[in-house]
Amino acid sequence: MAMSVEEVEAAIIEKAKKAPKPQLYIKDFYKCAPDMKPRQIKKIANKLVEKGELMFWSSGSTTMYARPDRIKDEEGAEGIN
Amino acid sequence: MAKHDTPMLDELEKGPWPSFVTDMKRQAETHPECWDILGQLELSYEDRITHWKHGGIVGVFGYGGGIVGRYSDVPDRFPGVEHFHTVRVNQPAGLYYSTENLRALMDLWDKYGSGMTNMHGSTGDMILLGTRTENLEPLFWDLTHDLGQDLGGSGSNLRTPSCCLGESRCEWACYDTQDICYALTMHYQDEIHRPAFPYKFKFKFSGCANDCVAAIARSDFAVIGTWKDDIQIDQAAVKEYVAGNYPANGGAHKDGDWGPFNLKKEVIDLCPTQCMWMEGDELKIDNSECNRCMHCINVMPRALRPGKEKGATICIGAKAPILDGAQFATMIIPFIEVSKDNEYENIIDVIERIWDWWMEVGKNRERVGETMQRVGLPTFLSVMEVEPIPQHVKEPRSNPYVFWKEEEVPGGFERDIVEFRKRHAA
Ligand code: HEM
Ligand code: HEM
Ligand code: SF4
Ligand code: SF4
């Protein structure tokens, strides 16, 4: 059965809270809604950034997603590059 | 922020060529933070390691791209480059600016940044190098409100599309490169300003195989102008070239001592497909063999021009070395019409077919060219629903096994076992 947008949002937030590393690739969210097209999931993730539930985090060349409260310093340059 | 001793960098000011060190020293007179760039670079030369940190979370509200965060890892020694973010400004199609606009942009950058620029980056954008986080929002406000300009793409976004100057100045353009570049920039605003993919994706548009934006080497999706019918030949002009009355290559090499123009040596023998010859004083071309490389047209522009039935070839998957080595794009669609009348719907279909597949199958940080290589061209062609043609084949096969799909075998793989056993007892 297809998931509603709200259910997908909740699953994405849950994943972003629990994942071992705070920064996630967009592909990490695909499993939150296996029946949905990746471009649809990307739209939902970007909406969550607009709502402040997620934030963008850039490695320099790749953009990742994170829960704002899991990223400490503003620079956050440690970790993945 | 004072001057630092930079003996190694100073070496780079010697010689007759322009020096970025000299440029930065001049810039430092009005923007003292530039002394710290030089100081930090000198330190990097000593330590043999970069002192820039990549990454983090800089940007402007509502956008997930367009600003590339850069920080010094030795800010105590070089406070001027504690933050040194790069701003990408979407360039106009074909890079046409008015001097008024350029002055306004430079004033803006003098006000909010280091004043240093890179015109233009390989992506195509105008690159403004070096500002602090707190300057980003006011800069973005002025850029968008006063100048009516926008940021380009970075990170996992669709990168700023770019094009050659095409029909605006070049009679070889096989389609309107600037129009499609602008149209797709507008069509894909969301993809340009916010991350859309597992990794970057670039479009570039060249009007002919001379490929002035180097689309074939630098873009995931290269649209390169070509034609279907015959090269147009003006035999009278061919004679003028042979007689030496018209300068070869539009006179581009006339300062060198190349001797008189030699049609056989400079055109016929250099045709990569060997499809040209002379019959008496008439130049002949076997157009079915010609691969539209543009060489002969470049040498004799007054005698030869592209055909009349124009469109483009689509090549997919070029990239710089990040995970694997650098690679050129692979020709996938030999000819496609490029027309503003259908708002480029047929091109958009191709683009979105690639995206839907790559987003699903591509790995994190894998460019589409790498995904193609991983699955193999036959698989990619079937994803694209493109029939293989000889031009897709690079070399004769070395693998002796041929695998058939059921739909390719008459009667399929199912067989009546009873019928078979009547002829071949178990
Ligand atoms: C060891 C150090 C560095 C390496 C290996 C490196 C590598 C690269 C590579 C591979 C690209 C992509 C080129 C392309 O395909 O278009 C790039 C682009 C870029 N880099 Fe670096 N980089 C380094 C340091 C820096 C620094 C220190 C800065 C700024 C302070 C910087 C600013 C940029 C910018 C603005 C671009 C994009 C230019 C464009 O849009 O074409 N990089 N870098
Ligand atoms: C669907 C039918 C068959 C398949 C898929 C098949 C597949 C193979 C494969 C994969 C090999 C190994 C090739 C290698 O050295 O890399 C092989 C070897 C061999 N097959 Fe078959 N085979 C089939 C039918 C037959 C039949 C009908 C015969 C004889 C009447 C046969 C005789 C042999 C022999 C003698 C070898 C060894 C060749 C050597 O290593 O020098 N095969 N086969
Ligand atoms: S790529 Fe071709 S059409 Fe475009 S400017 Fe260069 S020569 Fe002209
Ligand atoms: S365009 Fe290139 S391949 Fe075609 S005839 Fe001219 S030189 Fe030969």
Assembly ipTM: 0.79
Whether residues B194 and B339 fall in one domain: yes
The Cα B21–Cα B9 span in angstroms is 7
In contact, B313 and B233? CB cutoff 8 Å:
no
Q: How many CB atoms lie within 10 A of CB B335?
A: 15
**pTM score, two decimals?**
0.81
- pLDDT for residue B401: 86
Q: Indicate if B12 and B133 belong to the same structural domain.
A: yes
Indicate the number of domains in chain B. Answer: 3
Q: At B384, list the tokens.
A: 């694209």
* Residue B79: pLDDT over 50: yes
pLDDT in tens, B35-77: 999 999 999 999 999 999 876 778 898 899 999 989 999 999 9
What's the pLDDT score for residue A77?
Answer: 44
Query: Quick check: B57 and A50 CB within 8 A?
Result: no
Asked if B253 and B321 sit in the same domain, the reply is no
Residues B24 and B109 in one domain: yes
Inside any domain, residue B329 = yes
Q: What is the pLDDT of residue B31?
A: 93
What CATH code is carried by the domain that includes residue B329? 3.30.413.10
Would you say residue B353 lies in a domain? yes
B354 within domain boundaries: yes
Query: Is residue B231 scored above 70 in pLDDT?
Result: yes
Share of chain B above pLDDT 70, in %: 100
Q: Does residue B213 sit in the same domain as residue B168?
A: yes
d(CA B201, CA B316): 11
Domain of residue B296 covers 232-305
- State yes or no: pLDDT of B383 exceeds 90: yes
Whether B211 and B340 map to the same domain: the answer is: yes
Q: Is residue B330 part of a domain?
A: yes
Mark which of B285, B305, B325 sits at the end of a domain: B305
Per-residue pLDDT tens over the stretch B80-129: 999 999 999 999 999 999 999 999 999 999 999 999 999 998 889 999 99
**Residues B255 and B347 occupy one common structural domain:** no
Shortest distance, CA A73 to any CA of chain B (angstroms): 9
- The CB of B275 under 6 Å from ligand 4? The reply is yes
**Residue B211 CA: which ligand is closest?**
3
Q: What is the pLDDT of residue A80?
A: 37
Please check whether residues B238 and B286 belong to one and the same domain: yes
Q: Please indicate whether residue B114, judged by its CB atom, sits closer than 6 Å to ligand 1.
A: no
Q: Which pLDDT value is given to residue B394?
A: 82
B169, B93 contact by CB (below 8 A): no
* Per-residue confidence (pLDDT) for residue B187, from 0 to 100: 97
The answer to whether the Cβ–Cβ distance between B157 and A63 falls below 8 Å is yes
Report, at the CATH architecture level, how domain A5-70 is classified.
Answer: Orthogonal Bundle (1.10)
B7, containing H or E segment: helix B7-11
Residues B137 and B46 in one domain: yes
pLDDT(B294) > 60 = yes
* Confidence at B300, pLDDT banded by 50, 70, 90: very high
CATH number, domain with residue B81:
3.30.70.2500
Residue A73's pLDDT band, with cuts at 50, 70 and 90, is: low
Clarify whether residues B330 and B186 are in a common domain: yes
Q: Are residues B126 and B218 in the same domain?
A: no
Q: Is residue B416 part of a domain?
A: no
| Whether the predicted pLDDT of B370 surpasses 60 | yes
Is residue B413, in this structure, part of any structural domain at all? no
| pLDDT value at residue A1 | 61
**pLDDT over threshold 50, residue B329:** yes
Ligand 4 geometric centre to CA of B261 (Å)? 18
Say if residues B308 and B227 touch (Cβ distance below 8 Å).
Answer: yes
Examine the pLDDT at B28 and tell me if it is beyond 90: yes
Mean pLDDT of the residues in chain B: 93
pLDDT recorded at residue A76: 47
Mean of pLDDT values over B222-246? 97
Q: Would you say B293 and B208 are in contact if contact means Cβ atoms under 8 Å apart?
A: no
Q: B403 in a domain, yes or no? A: no
Q: Write out the H or E segment, with its range, that includes residue B278.
A: strand B276-279
Cβ B19 under 6 angstroms from ligand 3: no
Indicate if the pLDDT at residue B271 is higher than 80.
yes
Query: Residue B241 above 90 pLDDT?
Result: yes
pLDDT at position A81 = 35
Of the residues B145, B171, B202, the one at which a domain ends: B145
Return the CATH number at B278: 3.30.70.20
CA-to-CA distance for B39 and B158, rounded, in angstroms?
35
